[in-house]
């Protein structure tokens, strides 16, 4: 089962999140037909979003991450709800690149080191909170950490990883976020930094079968780790026909009339889950009567 676990350590002076996301990243990869580097990139964004959304308080809060880089993947978009449901897509899912000099999937090159990372938090207020920072590497984890520092003045360690098998199936995916608070003891911070240096990559930890609790224990166990809560995670799209009808209505009377006269039908595909919605002439004419 995929889930994110929250915890604190150092007598509450360090916040931490860890997640296993193998199943939901695998689901996203199958839905979108992702090539390995696209699966790794989107999987990292989905994992980060799942952990960040788990930190929101309201039951209906929604967090969105948009990564728009200079690389061949184009934009990556993810929407996560505080209840643990996520959806996402990448503009160019079948990008194929050589491995980088370390023999790893070259997510940085696929995303591109130049671009923007945008975080949108809809907390049910009149206006959503929108924060935007420049990409610094395209590796996603470093870019999320930079966002925390620049936009929220919160130093953070963000580790995100996805392993993809030769047959394109997702083998392991997960991540963790460690955040010292202003009153954190320097000795504890130094101890955590030493732990980080000694640990294998997060994708290897997940692949070895370590659950999120164990990952936090490896990182913070000696600093009075206290686990606070667990949220199941799953890839789930909330699109429906009614919502797509509103999209059709949004085209306006003139364009809708043109579609009826030239095509006599319409097909809309949800970006997030690739579900197809067909509208025949009769259905379009019914919508035309409602259009402005």
Does the pLDDT of residue 227 top 90, yes or no? yes
Predicted confidence (pLDDT) per residue in 139-163, tens digit: 999 999 999 999 999 999 999 999 9
φ/ψ bin of 152: left (φ > 0), alpha (ψ from -120 to 50), beta (otherwise): alpha
Answer yes or no: is pLDDT of 292 > 80. Answer: no
Neighbours of 292 (CB within 10 A): 6
The three-state (H, E, C) secondary structure of the chain, written as one string: CCEEEEEEECCCCEEEEEEECHHHHHHHHHHHCCCHHHHHHHHHHHHHHHHHHCCCCCCCCEEEEEEEECCCCCEEEEEEECCCEEEEEECCCCCCCCCCCCCCCCHHHHHCCCEEEEEEEECCCCCCEEEEEECCCCCCHHHHHHHHHHHHCCCCEEEEEEEECCCCCEEEEEEEEEEECCCCCHHHHHHHHHHHHHCCCHHHHHHCCCCHHHHHHHHHHHHCCEEEEEEECEECCCCCHHHHHHHHHCCCHHHHHHHHHHCCCEEEECCCCCCEEEECHHHHHHHHHHCC
List Cα–Cα distances, 209 to 5, 168, 171, 239, in angstroms.
Answer: 16, 20, 11, 33
CA distance 117 to 107: 15
Cα–chain center distance at 187: 33
User: Residue 186 burial (CB < 10 Å; 0-12/13-18/19+)?
Assistant: exposed
pLDDT digits (tens, 9 = 90+) for 110-137: 999 999 999 999 987 888 999 999 999 9
pLDDT of residue 130: 94
Output the CATH code of domain 241-290. Answer: 3.90.1280.10
- The fold for domain 3-235 equals Hsp33 domain (3.55.30)
Quickly state the pLDDT bin for 182 (edges 50, 70, 90). Answer: confident
Average pLDDT for the chain: 93
**What integer pLDDT is reported at residue 249 of this predicted model?**
87
Q: For the chain, give every residue range classified as CATH 3.55.30.10.
A: 3-235
pLDDT, greater one: 101 or 144: 144
pLDDT band at 192, cuts 50/70/90?
A: confident
Where do the CATH 3.90.1280.10 domains begin and end in the chain?
241-290
- pLDDT tens across 248-279, in order? 888 888 899 999 999 888 999 999 999 999 99
d(CA 69, CA 190): 33
């Amino acid at each position: 089962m995929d889930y994110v676990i929250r915890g604190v350590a150092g007598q509450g002076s360090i916040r931490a999140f860890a997640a296993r996301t193998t199943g939901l990243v695998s689901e996203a990869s199958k839905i979108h037909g992702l090539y390995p580097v696209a699966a790794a990139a989107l999987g990292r964004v989905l994992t980060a979003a799942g952990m960040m959304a788990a930190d929101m308080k309201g039951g209906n809060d929604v967090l969105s991450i948009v990564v728009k880089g200079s690389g061949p993947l184009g934009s990556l978009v993810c929407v996560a709800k505080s209840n643990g449901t996520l959806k996402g897509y990448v503009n160019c899912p079948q990008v194929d690149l050589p491995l980088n000099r370390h023999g790893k999937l070259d997510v940085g090159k696929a995303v591109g080191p130049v671009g923007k990372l945008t975080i949108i938090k809809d907390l049910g207020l009149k206006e959503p909170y929108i924060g935007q920072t420049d990409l610094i590497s395209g590796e996603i984890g470093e870019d999320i950490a930079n966002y925390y520092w620049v936009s929220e003045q919160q130093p953070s360690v963000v580790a995100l990883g996805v392993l993809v098998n030769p047959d394109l199936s997702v083998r392991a995916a997960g991540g963790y976020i460690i955040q010292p608070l202003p009153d954190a003891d320097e000795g504890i911070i130094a101890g955590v930094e030493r732990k980080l240096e000694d640990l294998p990559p997060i994708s290897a930890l997940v692949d070895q079968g370590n659950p999120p609790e164990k990952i936090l224990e490896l990182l913070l166990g000696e600093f009075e780790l206290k686990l606070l809560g667990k949220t199941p995670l799953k890839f789930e799209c909330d699109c429906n026909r009614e919502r797509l009808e509103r999209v059709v209505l949004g085209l306006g009377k003139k364009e809708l009339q043109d579609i009826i006269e030239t095509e006599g039908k319409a097909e809309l595909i949800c970006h997030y889950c690739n579900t197809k919605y067909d509208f025949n002439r009769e259905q379009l004419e019914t919508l035309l009567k409602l259009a402005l």
